[in-house]
Amino acid sequence: MLRSEIYYDLWYYNSTPLSNTGFFATLLLSNDMILYIIATPIGNLKDISERALEILRSVDLILCEDTRVASKLLSHFQISKPLQSYHQHSQLTKMAYIVEEFKKGKNIALVSDAGTPGISDPGNKLIEYLISKLPGIKIIPIPGPCAATTALSVSGFPADKFIFLGFPPHKKGRETFFKELAQEEKTVVFYESPHRMEKCLEQLKQFLPTDRKIVICREITKMFETIYRGTIGDIDVPKNEIKGEFVIVLHP
**How far is 228 from 237, CA to CA, in rounded Å?**
7
- The ranges assigned to domains in the chain are 31-142, 147-250
CATH class assigned to 31-142: alpha beta
For residues 177 and 169, is the Cβ–Cβ distance under 8 A? yes
pLDDT at 31: 62
pLDDT at 86: 87
Q: List CB contacts of 226: < 8 A, sequence separation 6 or more.
A: 217, 218, 219, 241
**How far is 87 from 64, CA to CA, in rounded Å?**
7
pLDDT at 27: 44
0.95 exceeded by pTM: no
**How far is 124 from 143, CA to CA, in rounded Å?**
15
Q: What percentage of the chain carries pLDDT values higher than 90?
A: 75
Which residues in 60-87 are b (16+ Cβ under 10 Å) and which e? ebbbbbebebbbebbeeeeeeeebbebe
CATH class assigned to 147-250: alpha beta
Q: What is the largest CA-CA distance in the chain?
A: 59
